[in-house]
């Protein structure tokens, strides 16, 4: 796999060619404030002790406390975490929230652990890092394979160690344990608000045919929200493959089918397709919502979508960006499109610190104008510099960070 941190730095290089920023800012953004690697011993159910490798990267806190999810994945490694932490720094700036950027992870396939082992591992991550975490210092959240339950274990462990009872150190908690209403669908919903705001400007019709890669938190919620709003989700996939129906899939029934069968394959009225075929399916909007580097120099030329919206972090390589730019396919970048998640995480942190609980309606009513505003600012900025939306988003973010520095 291409090194995601190198990709992130290439994106930064491209922006500096379009607009000048101070050397101090660019130098600072080329490396994290600190990157921490830890080992976490876990006593497994069979009595043996296994050592896991974990990470926390605190990238930049110019705008506020470090903020960013924790990823559990067998391929997670330091360069991926650094890239994700860099993007978080820009994402918080784009969203206009008073947070900096960070990210964490553990190299583990959580499906291979029992629930007890997973809980011990999650609590172990917090024990190693509790000194650097805190509501005003560093506020982790969920990411790939980390659930509200895991966040609740982590928040509990942190409270035990520090005595801090604000619950504001971890976001993405279950709602009965200090979580915010609306955090579950926030990333998918924020993406929909961004799409809705930019739809006409990027030349998409009133009713779109949508293809989504990823059937996790982000993919499923996005699929449901797009369907509810009259768009047809014609193909969707998980890591094992996908399904296609040119008239649109019933997402609720598909989710039940996956629960029963463990895979999307064989869903009534649909055709099984591979992830490669899915990405190359003709549609109005393609939404990668799974992993990094899935659209690259090998397949970017074959993309038939009219536009792409990145709900995953880093799904397009810099080479793919260039190919799609030349083909005239607009790409709504991750740091804008998926910033609804961190925005509602920020709402959760704010509610915890003020000891408040907002209704789902209040949360969504606050989210909508923020996403709309971010989308329009970026569209204008891209026009001003005659460039693509990714560079437009980077410019908006870097201007905010530079002004604060």
User: Using the rule CB under 6 A, is 237 a contact of ligand NAD?
Assistant: yes
Apex 124 CA angle, 121 and 129, nearest 5: 135
User: Using the rule CB under 6 A, is 245 a contact of ligand NAD?
Assistant: no
- Using CB atoms within 10 A of its CB, is residue 307 exposed (0-12), middle (13-18) or buried (19+)? buried
User: Using the rule CB under 6 A, is 311 a contact of ligand NAD?
Assistant: yes
Are 394 and 377 spatial neighbours (Cβ–Cβ below 8 Å)?
no
Name which of residues 267 to 286 contact ligand NAD (CB under 6 A): 275
Among residues 145, 296, 343, 351, which is the contact residue for ligand NAD, using CB under 6 A? 145
Are 176 and 249 spatial neighbours (Cβ–Cβ below 8 Å)?
no
Determine the angle formed by the axes of helices 389-404 and 4-18, rounding to 10 degrees: 80
Among residues 53, 216, 248, 265, which is the contact residue for ligand NAD, using CB under 6 A? 216
Nearer to ligand NAD, 178 or 219 (CB): 219
Name which of residues 348 to 387 contact ligand NAD (CB under 6 A): none
User: Using the rule CB under 6 A, is 106 a contact of ligand NAD?
Assistant: no
Q: Taken in order 321, 91, 14, 8, is the CA torsion positive or negative?
A: negative
User: Using the rule CB under 6 A, is 291 a contact of ligand NAD?
Assistant: yes
Distance in Å, CB of 389 to ligand NAD, minimum: 17
Nearer to ligand NAD, 211 or 387 (CB): 211
Q: Which stretch binds ligand NAD (CB under 6 A): 20-28, 202-210, 217-225, 386-394?
A: 217-225
* CA-wise closest residue to 77 among 151, 3, 170: 3
Are 253 and 228 spatial neighbours (Cβ–Cβ below 8 Å)?
no
- Residues labelled catalytic: 103
Distance in Å, CB of 163 to ligand NAD, minimum: 29
Nearer to ligand NAD, 169 or 387 (CB): 169
Cα separation, 102 vs 354, in Å, equals: 23
User: Using the rule CB under 6 A, is 332 a contact of ligand NAD?
Assistant: no
Q: How many residues bind ligand NAD (CB under 6 A)?
A: 24
Using CA atoms, how far residue 166 sits from 132, 169, 348, 349, in Å, is 16, 8, 11, 9
User: Using the rule CB under 6 A, is 80 a contact of ligand NAD?
Assistant: no
- Sort residue 214 into left (φ over 0), alpha (ψ -120 to 50) or beta: left
Cα separation, 291 vs 15, in Å, equals: 23
User: Using the rule CB under 6 A, is 222 a contact of ligand NAD?
Assistant: no
Could you list the residues that contact ligand NAD (CB under 6 A)?
A: 142-145, 187, 213-219, 237-239, 275, 289-291, 311-313, 338, 341
């Amino acid at each position: 796999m291409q090194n995601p941190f190198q990709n992130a730095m290439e994106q930064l290089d491209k922006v500096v060619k379009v607009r000048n920023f101070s050397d101090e800012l660019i130098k600072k953004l080329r490396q994290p404030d600190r990157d921490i690697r830890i080992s976490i011993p876990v006593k497994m159910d069979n009595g043996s002790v296994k050592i896991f490798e974990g990470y926390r990267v605190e990238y930049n806190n110019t705008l506020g406390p470090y903020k960013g999810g924790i990823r559990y994945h067998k391929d997670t490694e330091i360069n991926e975490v650094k890239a994700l932490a860099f993007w978080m720094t820009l994402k918080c700036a784009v969203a206009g929230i008073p947070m900096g950027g960070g990210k964490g992870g553990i190299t583990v396939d959580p499906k291979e652990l029992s629930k007890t082992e997973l809980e011990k591992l999650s609590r172990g991550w917090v024990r190693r890092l509790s000194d650097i975490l805190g509501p005003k210092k560093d506020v982790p959240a969920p990411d790939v394979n980390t659930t509200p339950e895991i966040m609740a274990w982590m928040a509990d462990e942190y409270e035990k160690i520090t005595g801090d009872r604000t619950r504001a150190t971890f976001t993405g908690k279950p709602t009965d344990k200090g979580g915010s209403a609306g955090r579950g669908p926030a990333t998918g919903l924020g993406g929909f608000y961004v799409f809705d705001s930019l739809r006409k400007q990027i030349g998409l019709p009133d009713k779109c045919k949508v293809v989504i890669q990823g059937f996790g938190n982000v993919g499923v919620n996005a699929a449901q929200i797009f369907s509810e709003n009259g768009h047809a989700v014609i193909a969707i996939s998980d890591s094992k493959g996908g399904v296609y129906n040119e008239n649109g899939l019933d997402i609720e029934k598909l989710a039940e089918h996956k629960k029963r069968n463990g895979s999307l394959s064989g869903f009534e009225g649909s055709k099984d397709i591979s992830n490669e075929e899915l990405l190359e399916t003709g549609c109005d909007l393609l939404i990668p919502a799974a992993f990094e580097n899935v659209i690259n120099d090998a397949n970017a030329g074959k993309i038939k979508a009219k536009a792409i919206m990145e709900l995953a972090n880093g799904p397009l390589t810099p080479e793919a960006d260039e190919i799609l730019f030349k083909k005239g396919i607009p790409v709504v970048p991750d740091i804008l499109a998926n910033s609804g998640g961190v925005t509602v995480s920020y709402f959760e942190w704010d509610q915890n610190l003020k000891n408040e609980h907002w209704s789902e309606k209040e949360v969504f009513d606050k989210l909508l104008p923020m996403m709309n505003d971010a989308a329009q600012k970026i569209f204008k900025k891209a026009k001003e510099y005659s460039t693509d939306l990714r560079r437009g988003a980077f410019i908006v973010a870097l201007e905010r960070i530079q002004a604060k520095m």
